[in-house]
């Protein structure tokens, strides 16, 4: 039982003279969830950041050990909920790899289309949330208008807006909706029309540029040694797009560029994500009229039993590299599943990036890391 003074003393515990320790989170508007940062300040300058995790730990990895190979994919929608499709795909691909299931061409194309739509939706939300972190509330609504079109496409074809559970071992759960192609084309058109709005409101805005340029610098070496992936690493010049390096599904057959930047600051990370959306649009445009006929799902047994062994697959989510490590004992449930989530490694670089900058810079840095807390905690 603490007395009152003890509690006070505990929370204000500071190392040396002139230091101020503040607890940012678990309830804070900028941490986008339940991240808890213990920040040591000198005036407004950050001396140290210590992320505390565990507020949204649901032990997804342990849960998975009691679920069958058909059941365990759906839980991963709850990890990085903004790239639910891509998480599900990683799980489905692991099972396919273990069982050596040949996925029909049509299913592969549908999977890639859905993945790229998810990526755009995720980046749209991120633009809005990041602008909101920097104090501009309006771009959020404009970004959500476009994102809404994607969620409607998802709703039509997959039956849900956020946690779709559309990728199943062997293909996709249903065939695409008859309106799918029409709606995606409408979205691509809308996106191309409206993307200038973000340029006017955010990219070219002098306040936004001065808030993000040179802020939260991450060098190429640091990006590698902290294990960063995705747009965070690519903004520092690390070529790490899994879609390019280890092409899966039909990514090897479509033309797109890996977006790289060398500046390594928040603005570079912003630009990388915006350009990535354009590349996703490029992929969608190539595939949308060329969906091959055929089955949308391979014939699989009712009960999946992968052979004994260890299997690892990786995919590129909207945030970076997601790895699924599966140990199978030959039974109906996995022996062990380990997810390598992109958010966790990206968060680990936060302390390094934010040291010596102001609290306002922390918002820009954290915003461009694009943290999804359930992905970090699992």
Partner 1 sequence: MFSLEGITKTIQDWLFSSFSPTVALLIECAIIILLAIALFALLGLVLVLMERKVAAHIQIRLGPNRVGPGGMFQTVADTVKLIMKEGLTPDMADKFLFNLAPFIVMIVAMLLLAPIAFAKNFQIWDINIGVLYVSAVSSLSVIGILMAGWASNNKYSLLGAMRSGAQIVSYELSAGLAILSVVVLTGSLQISDIIESQKDGWWLFKGHIPVIIAFVIFLIAVTAETNRAPFDLAEAESELTAGFHTEYSGMRFAFFFLAEYINIFIVCSIGATLFLGGWMPLHIGNWESFNHLMDYIPSSVWFMGKTFFLIFLIMWFRWTFPRLRVDQLLNLEWKYLLPISLFNILLVTLIAIMGWHF
Partner 2 sequence: MFLKEYIKDVYNGVTSLLKGMRKTGYYFFHTKEIITEQYPDNRDTLKLAERFRGEVVMLHDENNEHACTGCTACELACPNGTIKVITKFDMTPEGKKKKAVDTFIYHLELCTMCNLCVEACPTGAISMAQNFEHSVYDRNKLTKRLNKPGSKVREGVE
Of 68, 113, 69, 49, nearest in space to 289 by CA: 113
Of 297, 291, 346, nearest in space to 318 by CA: 346
Among 69, 74, 142, 166, which residue sits at the site for partner 1 (rule: CB under 8 A)?
Answer: 142
Among 35, 79, 82, 131, which residue sits at the site for partner 1 (rule: CB under 8 A)?
Answer: 131
29 binds, among partner 2, partner 1, none (CB under 5 to 8 A by kind): partner 1
Please answer whether residues 241 and 316 qualify as being in contact, where contact means their C-beta atoms are separated by less than 8 angstroms. Answer: yes
Q: How far is the CB of 12 from partner 1 (least distance, A)?
A: 8
One DSSP character per residue, 143-170 reads: HHHHHHHHHHHHHHHHS-SS----EETT
Binding mask 153-172 for partner 1 (x = CB under 8 A): --------------------
Site for partner 2, rule CB under 8 A: 67, 70-72, 74-75, 138, 145, 148, 152, 155-160, 163, 165, 168, 173-174, 177, 197, 200-201, 204-207, 302
298 binds, among partner 1, partner 2, none (CB under 5 to 8 A by kind): none
Contacting residues for 41 by C-beta, under 8 A, at least 6 apart: 19, 20, 21, 22, 47, 359
Segment near partner 1 (CB under 8 A); pick from 21-29, 148-156, 289-297, 341-349: 21-29
Q: How far is the CB of 161 from partner 1 (least distance, A)?
A: 19
Of 317, 342, 312, 338, nearest in space to 226 by CA: 342
263 binds, among partner 2, partner 1, none (CB under 5 to 8 A by kind): none
158 binds, among partner 2, partner 1, none (CB under 5 to 8 A by kind): partner 2
Strands, E assignment, 53-184:
167-168, 171-172
Among 19, 26, 30, 48, which residue sits at the site for partner 1 (rule: CB under 8 A)?
Answer: 30
Q: How far is the CB of 363 from partner 1 (least distance, A)?
A: 6
Binding mask 35-74 for partner 1 (x = CB under 8 A): ---------x------------------------------
Q: How far apart, in whole angstroms, are the C-alpha atoms of residue 57 and residue 320? A: 20
CA 323: distance to chain centroid? Answer: 12
- 323 counts as binding partner 1 under rule CB under 8 A: no
Please answer whether residues 237 and 222 qualify as being in contact, where contact means their C-beta atoms are separated by less than 8 angstroms. Answer: no
Strands, E assignment, 114-259:
167-168, 171-172
Residue written as token pair 């191309």: 192
By CB under 8 A, name the binding residues for partner 1: 4, 8, 20, 22, 28-30, 44, 131-138, 140-142, 145, 201-202, 205, 207-208, 210-211, 358-363
């Amino acid at each position: 039982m603490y007395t009152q003074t003890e509690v006070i003393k505990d929370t204000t515990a500071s190392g040396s003279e002139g230091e101020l320790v503040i607890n940012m989170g678990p309830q804070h508007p900028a941490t986008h969830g339940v991240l808890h940062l213990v920040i040591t300040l000198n005036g407004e300058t950050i001396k140290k950041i210590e992320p505390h995790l565990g507020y949204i730990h649901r032990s997804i990895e342990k849960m998975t050990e009691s679920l069958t190979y058909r059941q365990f994919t759906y839980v991963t929608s709850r990890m990085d909920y903004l790239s639910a499709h891509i998480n599900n795909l990683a799980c489905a691909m692991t099972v396919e790899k273990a069982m050596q299931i040949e996925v029909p061409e049509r299913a592969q194309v549908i999977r890639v289309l859905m993945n790229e739509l998810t990526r755009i939706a995720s980046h749209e939300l991120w633009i809005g949330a990041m602008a909101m972190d920097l104090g501009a509330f309006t771009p959020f609504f404009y970004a959500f208008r476009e994102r809404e079109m994607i969620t409607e496409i998802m709703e039509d074809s997959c039956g849900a807006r956020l946690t779709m559970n559309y990728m199943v071992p062997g293909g996709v759960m249903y065939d695409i909706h008859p309106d799918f192609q029409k709606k995606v084309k409408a979205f691509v058109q809308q996106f191309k029309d409206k993307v200038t709005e973000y340029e006017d409101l955010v990219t070219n805005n002098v306040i936004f540029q001065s808030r993000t340029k040179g802020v939260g610098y991450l060098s190429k070496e640091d990006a590698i040694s902290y294990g960063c992936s995705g747009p965070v690493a690519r903004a520092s010049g690390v070529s790490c797009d899994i879609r390019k390096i280890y092409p899966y599904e039909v990514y090897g057959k479509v033309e797109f560029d890996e977006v790289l930047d060398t500046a390594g600051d928040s603005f570079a990370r912003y630009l990388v994500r915006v350009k990535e959306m354009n590349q996703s649009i490029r992929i969608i445009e190539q595939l949308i009229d060329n969906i091959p006929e055929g089955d949308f799902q391979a014939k699989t047994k009712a009960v999946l039993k992968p052979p004994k062994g260890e299997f690892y697959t990786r995919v590129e989510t909207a945030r970076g590299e997601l790895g699924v490590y599966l140990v199978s004992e030959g039974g109906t449930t996995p022996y062990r599943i380990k997810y390598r989530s992109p958010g966790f490694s990206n968060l680990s670089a936060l302390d390094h990036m934010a040291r010596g900058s102001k609290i306002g810079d922390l918002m820009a840095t954290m915003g461009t890391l694009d943290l999804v807390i359930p992905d970090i905690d699992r």
